[in-house]
Amino acid sequence: MFRNTIDSHELVRFIDACPCLQRLEIKFTATNFHDRYYHMKVVNKTSNDDHPKTVKLSGIKASPNEVELGVLVVEKATALEELIVEISPDKSYTNRERMRARIRKEFQPILQDSVNFVVV
Protein backbone atom coordinates (compact mmCIF):
# COMPACT_ATOMS: atom_id res chain seq x y z
CA MET A 1 0.00 0.00 0.00
CA PHE A 2 1.54 3.30 -1.07
CA ARG A 3 0.37 6.72 0.03
CA ASN A 4 1.62 10.25 -0.46
CA THR A 5 -0.13 11.34 2.71
CA ILE A 6 -0.44 9.43 5.94
CA ASP A 7 -4.03 8.73 6.93
CA SER A 8 -3.89 7.46 10.50
CA HIS A 9 -7.55 6.48 10.60
CA GLU A 10 -7.14 4.34 7.49
CA LEU A 11 -4.25 2.52 9.13
CA VAL A 12 -6.28 1.85 12.28
CA ARG A 13 -9.08 0.37 10.16
CA PHE A 14 -6.51 -1.74 8.30
CA ILE A 15 -5.07 -3.17 11.52
CA ASP A 16 -8.56 -3.84 12.91
CA ALA A 17 -9.52 -5.63 9.69
CA CYS A 18 -6.53 -7.99 9.95
CA PRO A 19 -7.05 -10.03 13.13
CA CYS A 20 -4.37 -12.55 12.13
CA LEU A 21 -1.67 -9.96 11.54
CA GLN A 22 1.64 -11.01 13.09
CA ARG A 23 4.14 -8.57 11.67
CA LEU A 24 3.67 -5.10 10.23
CA GLU A 25 6.51 -3.34 8.48
CA ILE A 26 6.26 0.28 7.37
CA LYS A 27 9.00 1.51 5.05
CA PHE A 28 9.41 5.26 4.72
CA THR A 29 11.00 6.29 1.43
CA ALA A 30 11.73 9.60 -0.26
CA THR A 31 11.15 10.13 -3.96
CA ASN A 32 13.06 12.41 -6.31
CA PHE A 33 10.40 15.03 -5.64
CA HIS A 34 11.16 14.98 -1.91
CA ASP A 35 7.71 13.66 -1.08
CA ARG A 36 7.42 11.18 1.76
CA TYR A 37 5.75 7.87 1.05
CA TYR A 38 5.30 4.76 3.08
CA HIS A 39 4.90 1.15 2.11
CA MET A 40 3.20 -1.32 4.42
CA LYS A 41 4.23 -4.95 4.29
CA VAL A 42 2.01 -7.44 6.05
CA VAL A 43 3.01 -10.91 7.13
CA ASN A 44 0.11 -13.10 8.24
CA LYS A 45 0.22 -15.93 10.73
CA THR A 46 -1.89 -18.89 11.65
CA SER A 47 -2.82 -18.09 15.26
CA ASN A 48 -5.78 -15.96 16.31
CA ASP A 49 -4.01 -13.21 18.28
CA ASP A 50 -5.56 -9.82 17.68
CA HIS A 51 -2.67 -7.50 16.86
CA PRO A 52 0.88 -7.49 15.50
CA LYS A 53 3.62 -8.89 17.70
CA THR A 54 6.38 -7.26 15.69
CA VAL A 55 6.35 -3.75 14.23
CA LYS A 56 9.23 -2.52 12.09
CA LEU A 57 9.59 1.10 10.97
CA SER A 58 12.27 1.40 8.27
CA GLY A 59 13.85 4.51 6.80
CA ILE A 60 12.32 6.81 9.39
CA LYS A 61 13.60 10.39 9.62
CA ALA A 62 11.69 11.13 12.84
CA SER A 63 9.45 13.77 11.28
CA PRO A 64 6.35 14.61 13.32
CA ASN A 65 4.08 12.71 10.89
CA GLU A 66 6.29 9.62 10.91
CA VAL A 67 6.51 9.60 14.70
CA GLU A 68 2.74 10.12 14.99
CA LEU A 69 2.09 7.19 12.65
CA GLY A 70 4.55 4.99 14.53
CA VAL A 71 3.04 5.84 17.91
CA LEU A 72 -0.45 5.11 16.58
CA VAL A 73 0.64 1.69 15.31
CA VAL A 74 2.44 0.84 18.56
CA GLU A 75 -0.54 1.87 20.69
CA LYS A 76 -2.81 -0.30 18.52
CA ALA A 77 -0.48 -3.32 18.78
CA THR A 78 -1.66 -4.58 22.17
CA ALA A 79 0.26 -7.87 21.81
CA LEU A 80 3.51 -6.15 20.81
CA GLU A 81 6.67 -8.10 21.63
CA GLU A 82 9.19 -6.27 19.46
CA LEU A 83 9.56 -2.78 17.98
CA ILE A 84 12.37 -2.24 15.49
CA VAL A 85 13.07 1.27 14.23
CA GLU A 86 15.62 1.71 11.43
CA ILE A 87 16.80 5.30 11.05
CA SER A 88 17.17 6.62 7.50
CA PRO A 89 20.81 6.19 6.42
CA ASP A 90 20.90 9.30 4.22
CA LYS A 91 21.67 11.74 7.05
CA SER A 92 24.91 12.71 8.78
CA TYR A 93 26.05 10.81 11.86
CA THR A 94 25.05 13.72 14.11
CA ASN A 95 21.58 13.91 12.57
CA ARG A 96 21.10 10.15 12.90
CA GLU A 97 22.04 10.36 16.60
CA ARG A 98 19.47 13.13 17.09
CA MET A 99 16.85 11.03 15.33
CA ARG A 100 17.67 8.02 17.53
CA ALA A 101 17.31 10.16 20.66
CA ARG A 102 13.95 11.53 19.46
CA ILE A 103 12.68 8.05 18.61
CA ARG A 104 13.66 6.75 22.06
CA LYS A 105 12.05 9.78 23.73
CA GLU A 106 8.75 9.31 21.87
CA PHE A 107 8.42 5.52 22.02
CA GLN A 108 10.01 4.39 25.29
CA PRO A 109 7.29 5.86 27.56
CA ILE A 110 4.48 4.05 25.72
CA LEU A 111 6.16 0.63 25.54
CA GLN A 112 5.70 -2.08 28.13
CA ASP A 113 8.90 -3.25 29.81
CA SER A 114 8.55 -6.65 28.12
CA VAL A 115 8.82 -5.16 24.59
CA ASN A 116 12.17 -5.62 22.85
CA PHE A 117 12.87 -2.07 21.57
CA VAL A 118 15.67 -1.72 19.02
CA VAL A 119 16.76 1.51 17.31
CA VAL A 120 19.39 1.13 14.60
Give pLDDT, residue 21. Answer: 67
Kindly report, residue by residue over 44-60, the tens digit of the pLDDT.
444 445 567 888 998 88
Give this prediction's pTM: 0.71
DSSP state letters, 2-31: EESS--HHHHHHHHHT-TTEEEEEEEEEE-
Handedness of CA 21, 76, 65, 61 (dihedral sign): negative
Q: What is the mean pLDDT of the chain?
A: 76
